[in-house]
Structure 1
Amino acid sequence: MTRISDDEGSTNRYRDRQLVAFLKRYRSIEPAASPDLEDRTIAALPPRVSTLRRSLWIAPLAVAASVSIAWMGYHHFSPNEPSKAELAQLETFIEETWYCSVERCEEEVWEAELWESDALEANR
């Protein structure tokens, strides 16, 4: 950075003073404000929607969306009701096998064949 010599500094200060004096002398005069200017400006603005009215719509919409999502999820993930035939088949199965869940039962012939066929297929 170069230093400004005293001669240059005084010249610059003189020019600055001349510029300030010129601006003060020829500055424009601002017009007087109209007394009803503020009222006219505010009247020209579009009416503002109340934030309270806007926020009153948010709560019911959020509740409606939540209920809709919950209802769709419940129906999507809940299992279908079993038919009468499926209930009868389940009841028959429980009646036939309940004893084997408490006591040791002999395997039925078809169960033994099923186990043997599965074991043979696994060894291949």
Structure 2
Amino acid sequence: MRNVLLYCFVLLCSLHVLAGPRKIKGVVLAKGDGLPLPGAAVLEKGTENGVGSNVNGVFELKLQNKKSDSIVFAYIGFHTQEIKLEKEKDFYTITLEEDLGDVEEVIIIHNLDSPIRKRRAGCTN
């Protein structure tokens, strides 16, 4: 009987190891209008492990380091945000705030109407 209890205890303790890496899921949204941010960078802090959010702002990150306690979110034109991971929580809704910074004016140059000039190389008779 004692061996059976010891075997069950070892089996239950090893299930945590067999479960594999922790997966963090969530969605990244813009704070102002609540629209999803496709292509937002989701990075495990302290590693090079990261993913990008899909077209709906949804991401799924497998943590490489079991001791990781925070994730960093970044998107062009928005403030970078770092969140602390909670042990029991696996789904996060992240809202990033716009970073207008010192931008006063944006100039867009569109040059598709100009003709393309081609020169031919070679000799002529």
TM over 0.5: no
More strand by share: 2
Q: TM-score, normalised by structure 2?
A: 0.23
Structure ID, larger Rg: 1
> Which structure is richer in relative contact order (CA contacts within 8 A, separation 6 or more)?
2
Q: TM-score, normalised by structure 1?
A: 0.23
